[in-house]
């Protein structure tokens, strides 16, 4: 597991603080590269499987997407955030990709 401050540390990603990084690691997302490779929805699906449905709200999903893009989550248009949420809900209910 990378240590905080290493080049591939989750905490170096935009929007990812200590608690979010802890949730990601509990879900098997250990590095910034893992996060970028999986994408926000897959990371959120994994967090929900590991920690329960309430572990990912719209704000956390938006933060994860911002981490992938390298932007603060509020810079993501609401229509895109809504689409991500719909995808997460569908996948969480067994709708697949």
Q: Which of 45, 37, 58, 40 is nearest to 90 (CA)?
A: 45
Q: Residues 43, 36: contact at Cβ < 8 Å? A: no
pTM: 0.89
Q: What is the CA radius of gyration of the chain?
A: 12
Handedness of CA 58, 73, 63, 65 (dihedral sign): positive
Domains of the chain: 10-92 (1.10.150.20)
- How far is it, in rounded angstroms, from Cα 14 to Cα 8? 13
| Tokens 């997302």 belong to residue | 29
pLDDT digits (tens, 9 = 90+) for 11-55: 999 999 999 999 999 999 999 999 999 999 999 999 999 999 999
Q: Locate tokens 């990912």: which residue?
A: 56
> Does residue 4 surpass a pLDDT of 70?
no
pLDDT digits (tens, 9 = 90+) for 73-97: 999 999 999 999 999 999 988 766 5
Task: For tokens 């905490």, name the residue.
Answer: 11
60 pLDDT band, cuts 50/70/90, is: very high
């Amino acid at each position: 597991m990378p240590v905080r401050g290493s080049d591939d540390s989750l905490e170096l990603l935009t929007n990812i603080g200590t608690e979010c990084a802890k949730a990601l690691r509990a879900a098997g997302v250990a590095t910034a590269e893992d996060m970028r490779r999986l994408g926000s929805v897959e990371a959120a699906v994994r967090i929900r499987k590991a920690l329960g449905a309430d572990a990912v709200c719209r704000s956390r999903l938006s933060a994860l997407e911002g981490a992938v893009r390298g932007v603060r989550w509020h810079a993501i248009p609401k229509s895109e955030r809504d689409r991500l949420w719909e995808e997460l809900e569908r996948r969480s209910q067994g709708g697949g990709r």
